[in-house]
Amino acid sequence: MVAPAVRGLKVALNSTGKFNFKSPDAAVDFLVVGGGNSPLGVVGLAVAQRLSQRFPSKSTYLVERHERAGEETSSRNSEVIHAGLYYPPESLKTRLCLRGRYLMYERCKIHNVPYRKTGKLVVAHESQRSYIETLLEKSRRLPWPRHSPQAPQLADELVLPITLLSGEQVRELEPDLSENISAALWSPETGIVDSHSFMESLEKDIQESEGGELVYSTRVVRVDPYRSAQASPTSPYHDGWVVQTVTGDSQEGDALLAKTLINASGLSANLILNSLLTESSRIPMYFARGSYAAYSGPGVSNVSHLLYPCPETGPNMHAFQSLGTHLTLDLHGKIRFGPDLEWISPPSNAPDFCFNEGNVDFWTEHLVPNESRLEDMHKAVAQYLPGVAFEGFRPDYVGVRPKLVVSGFQDFIIRKDYANGNNSGLMVSLMGIESPGLTSSLAIAEYVVEDVIGAHHDSRVS
C-alpha cells in the first residue's frame, strides 16, 4: 500500500520557551493530564476514577483544558460498545476491548447508564467472504483476557461469540440489505452507550472520592523531570514531574509536583513526550478526520442492528485505519452513517518550529461538518443498502482521531518513563488511543492502575 501524502506534527510542548522552569508549590500523588481529547477524554476520566478507588488515601487530580470532559472527540464518535473483533489476537487493542466491553456493560448496569445491546452485522460481498471467515476463526481462538472473572462457566464460553450467516439468513434479519451481500458475521455482544452519561458517572465517582479532584479549564504548558537528589537540600519533595498549568486566560503558570504523572492528553499526547526527547527522536502525530452523516429517507425502514461493511481490503486497504462507513443507531433509534476517513495535515507553509501551544490545534478548523463528503459516503453505503437516497444524507458532526501511523496496524501504546534513572518518578503516556478506545476505557484504566502503577507502587513499598 502507498501511504497517503500526509504530514505528521513533531511539535513539543513549550516549544517557544515562553514558560520558564518554576519550583513546585505543592505536590500531588497522581496527576492525570487530559479528560477531553479523543477517546482519551473518557480514558483519562477512567484512569482518575480507578486511581481514586485504588488509592483512596492518596491525592488524584485530573487536569483538563476544556470546561468539561469529552469536549473534543470522546463526544464525537459512534458511541459503540465494540465486541473486539478486528485486531490481532495478541494486541492490546483486542485484549483491552474484550475486557473493556465486559466492564462497560457491568458499569452501565450498576450506575444506570443508558445502553442497549443492539448486536452488529459485518456484511460481506462474495469477494469479501474470506475476510469475515478469517475473523470468525480468530474469534474462536481468543483467550479470556487478564483480570476476567474466574467463574467456572467461562471455560465453556467464548469470550467473543460470533456466528457466520448466509446472505439469505442475514436478509431475514435486515431485509433492506443488498441482494449482493452473500454472508455476514453476527456479533450479539456489540451495543451502544450514552457516552455523556457514562463520563458523568466517572466524574461523580471522582468528585465523591476522598482524594479525587477534577480541575477543568486548565491547560498544561510545561513538564520537567524533578530529581530530589539535584534539588535543594531543604526540598520536601521526592522524585517526580514538575507540571506547570495555566487556568483560564491567565498568563502566569502554577507549578505542581506530580509523584506519578499520567499523560492521557490524546491528540496532544506527543507534545509532553516531545518536550522531553531529543529533536531527532520526537514522535509525530497524524490526524484523521472522520465525518458522520445523519440520515432520514428510504432504504432503512427495517434496520434494527448496527451494520458494518467489511473494511477496504483491496489496493486501497485501510482495514486497520477505518472500519468503513457503517450504520449506527443511537438510543432514540436515529440512524447515522460514518465515520469515513480523510487525512488532514498541518498547513504546508508552516514548519514544525512555527507551531506552539497557541496554534498546534490547527485540526480544530476541520471539525466543522460540511457536505463535501456526502456523495462518497452515499456511494459507500449504497454498496450494502442500495435503497438509500442521496437526498436523505445531511452533515452531522466531525471527529478527529490521533494516529501514530498512516498505514498498517498500530496498537495502543502505554509507555513508561521515569524522572530518575532508578525507576523513580513514573510517567505513563497513553498513545494512539483511538477506536476501540471508548469500549476499552475501563480496561485501559485497570491495566494502567493495576498492572503498571500498582505494580510499580507495590515494588517501591516492599
Report pLDDT for 76: 47
pLDDT digits (tens, 9 = 90+) for 348-399: 655 554 555 556 778 888 899 999 999 999 999 999 999 999 999 999 999 8
Question: What mean pLDDT, rounded, does the chain reach?
Answer: 87
- 286 in any annotated domain: yes
Dihedral sign from CA coordinates of 293, 296, 300, 304: positive
Percent of the chain whose pLDDT exceeds 90: 65
- 15 in any annotated domain: no
- 5 in any annotated domain: no
- 232 in any annotated domain: yes
Q: Could you tell me how far CA 369 lies from the centroid of its own chain?
A: 21
Please determine, for residue 171, whether its predicted confidence score (pLDDT) is greater than 50. Answer: yes
Report pLDDT for 229: 67
- Report the number of distinct structural domains present in the chain: 1
Model confidence band, residue 291 (pLDDT cutoffs 50, 70, 90): very high
| Alpha carbons within 13 A on the beta-carbon side of 104 | 36
Cell triple for 343: 487525512
Q: What are the CA-CA distances from residue 22 to residues 16, 63, 196 (Å)?
A: 16, 18, 36
Over range 409-436, report the average pLDDT. Answer: 92
pLDDT digits (tens, 9 = 90+) for 22-71: 999 999 999 999 854 444 589 999 999 999 999 999 999 999 977 755 44
CATH classification of the domain holding 203: 3.50.50.60
For residue 118, give its domain range.
26-148+156-459
Report pLDDT for 387: 97
- 1 in any annotated domain: no
- 348 in any annotated domain: yes
Q: Which residues contact 145 (CB under 8 A, 6 or more apart)?
A: 95, 96, 98, 99, 159, 443
Report pLDDT for 116: 97
pLDDT digits (tens, 9 = 90+) for 230-243: 666 656 778 999 99
- 422 in any annotated domain: yes
Please determine, for residue 164, whether its predicted confidence score (pLDDT) is greater than 50. Answer: yes
- 101 in any annotated domain: yes
Over range 424-441, report the average pLDDT. Answer: 94
